[in-house]
Amino acid sequence: MKSLGIMGGTFDPIHYGHLVAAEGARHQFNLDKVIFVPSGRPPHKTENKISDPSQRLAMTNLAIASNNYFDISAIEVERPGLSYTIDTVLSFRSMYRSSKLYFITGGDAVLEILTWKDVGRLISLCTFIAATRPGYHLEHLEQAFLELPAAYRKNIHIMEVPALAISSTDIRERIRTGRPIKYLLPESVEQYVNKHNLYK
């Protein structure tokens, strides 16, 4: 593979915004494959309650089933301890020695990159694609990225994804308050959420 996308996120739950972002990145950056990597134990969310990693892995698996360019890795779910992106990217680097690696995730998450473990090494190992919601976020992100060191900035691309008006937070809130989630996420994921009584 010449170019590989690593799609990192908590995916609690995965929704159409994530899928559209991954497909958009695949097309725009000519990626041979996009591998979804649900975060096992997100390092910055130790106090938040998130769904079980195995459930988020199962929902992601259901969501990507119909796209031959998509794949999934349980690497972060299976690795003990906190899920640092540097460890994941190093593993992918050793598995795909000659591929160009892209790490795709939310723009708001990338904004915090200076706080990530081994950020200098990380940014030298892969190119970041920061997927952002439409509207003010784009200017906000561009402005905020100006504060990052120039060497980092040249390895971060911002990609506006209108479908990211959908958010996991909103879906969880809708479920809690009895509002519909239909058409915001794949039907198979909606059925999984209902069957396992998630986010109530």
- Binding residues for ligand NAP, per CB under 6 A? 7-10, 17-18, 21, 39, 42-45, 83-85, 104-106, 108-109, 116-117, 131, 164, 167-169
Output DSSP code: residue 162.
G
If the CB atoms of residues 112 and 187 are measured against ligand NAP, the closer one turns out to be 112
Q: What are phi and psi of 131, to 5 degrees?
A: -85, 125
| Residue showing tokens 């308050």 | 177
Q: How far apart, in whole angstroms, are the C-alpha atoms of residue 116 and residue 193? A: 31
Q: Which residue is nearest to ligand NAP (CB)?
A: 106
Residue 8 CB, shortest distance to ligand NAP, in Å, is: 2
| Residue showing tokens 């998509």 | 70
Residue 25 CB, shortest distance to ligand NAP, in Å, is: 9
Residue 144 CB, shortest distance to ligand NAP, in Å, is: 13
Residue 182 CB, shortest distance to ligand NAP, in Å, is: 17
If the CB atoms of residues 2 and 44 are measured against ligand NAP, the closer one turns out to be 44
Q: How far apart, in whole angstroms, are the C-alpha atoms of residue 91 and residue 86? A: 9
All residues at 6 or more sequence positions from 102 whose CB lies less than 8 Å from its CB, including other chains: 3, 4, 5, 6, 25, 29, 31, 126, 127, 128, 129
If the CB atoms of residues 96 and 184 are measured against ligand NAP, the closer one turns out to be 184
Instruction: Let me know the angle formed at the C-alpha of 192 by 186 and 196, rounded to the nearest 5 degrees.
Output: 150
If the CB atoms of residues 96 and 130 are measured against ligand NAP, the closer one turns out to be 130
If the CB atoms of residues 96 and 137 are measured against ligand NAP, the closer one turns out to be 137
Q: How far apart, in whole angstroms, are the C-alpha atoms of residue 144 and residue 108? A: 10
Q: Are 77 and 38 in contact (CB under 8 A)?
A: yes
Residue 67 CB, shortest distance to ligand NAP, in Å, is: 15
Residue 64 CB, shortest distance to ligand NAP, in Å, is: 12
| Residue showing tokens 């390895």 | 155
